[in-house]
Each structure stands twice: as structure tokens, then as C-alpha cells.
Structure 1
Amino acid sequence: MFAKSSGWMITFFYTSTKTVSQTPKRYKCEVCQKRFTRPSSLTTHSYTHTGEKPFKCPVEGCGRPFSVMSNLRRHQKVHKK
């Protein structure tokens, strides 16, 4: 970000940089053509198309399903209060 002062007014100029991954994205979603560097990322992404939620909360009476394991782990914290 750069700032340019002109009297009492300051104008900001934003610059952005895009990092290009050195890892080739070899795994392609056949539904939307999005590419991934890891097969596990493609698998997780595929749940957005199928609606599958294979990770269930193990707490009795809950059983809330999640498509991403890390979301289940975050959810489990609500049961520890």
C-alpha cells in the first residue's frame, strides 16, 4: 500500500500480488473443472457437489453431520462447555 499526500487529503493506492504455486494442480473436479494439488482436497471439494457429509458428531443426541473433518472438530468444542 502506498500513500500520497496532497495537502490535507491522503490518497491510498493498493497493490496486490498473487502468489503462483510451484506445485502443479493435477487433480481436476469433473463437475466444475476446479483443480487441486492434492487428491484429498479434491475429495473434500466433491462433497460440495454431492451434499455428502461423512463426518458425524459422536456425541449422543447430536449426530450433526459435516463435510469437512476440521469443521467437526471445531463443532465438538460446543459440547465441552
Structure 2
Amino acid sequence: MGRRRYMCTYDGCGKTFVRGEHLKRHVRSLHLQEKPHECPYSGCTKSFSRKDNLKQHMGIFHSK
């Protein structure tokens, strides 16, 4: 396994990652609470930080 050289610098976190993009995803979803992927179904107010989580939600709750 690779070295975890990307560390989160938010106070009290310190979580480390092998890949820089994983650190960015961590910061956006956990610390910044960004959820840009909104469910397109009428009446559903769910939104997600990751597109794959939206796809999973749609498959579970909105599949026919």
C-alpha cells in the first residue's frame, strides 16, 4: 500500500490519504458540506456530495 502523504489540515481531523483527489473529496463532502448532486425526481429533496451516491439512491428509491 502507498504512503499516506496527503493530510487533512482542518482542526481536529488529521485524516490522511494516498491520493490527493481523495483528500479533496473528503474536504468537500465532510468539512465544506458540498452536495452538488441533487435528485431530479419531483418531491425528492435528497442531494449528495458524490455522483455515485446519487446513482445508488436513484436505483434504490426511484427504480421501477
Structure that is richer in helix per residue: 2
Structure 1 residues 22-56: Cα deviation after superposition (integer angstroms, max 9, x where no partner): 20112111111111011221122112111111222
The structure, 1 or 2, with the larger RCO (C-alpha pairs under 8 Å, 6+ apart) is 2
Aligned mates of 1:67, 1:42 — CA distance in 2: 14
Structure 1 residue runs of 4 or more that deviate by more than 4 Å after TM superposition: none
Q: TM-score, normalised by structure 2?
A: 0.72
Unaligned runs of 5+ in 1: 1-21
Alignment partner, residue 55 of structure 2: 73
Structure 1 vs Structure 2: percent identity of aligned residues? 37
Give the count of matched residue pairs: 59
Alignment partner, residue 24 of structure 1: 3
User: Between Structure 1 and Structure 2, whose CA radius of gyration is higher?
Assistant: 1
Would you say 1:44 and 2:25 are equivalent positions?
yes
What CA RMSD, in Å, does the superposition of the two structures yield over aligned residues? 1.7
Q: TM-score, normalised by structure 1?
A: 0.60
Quote the offset at 1:60 in angstroms. 4.2
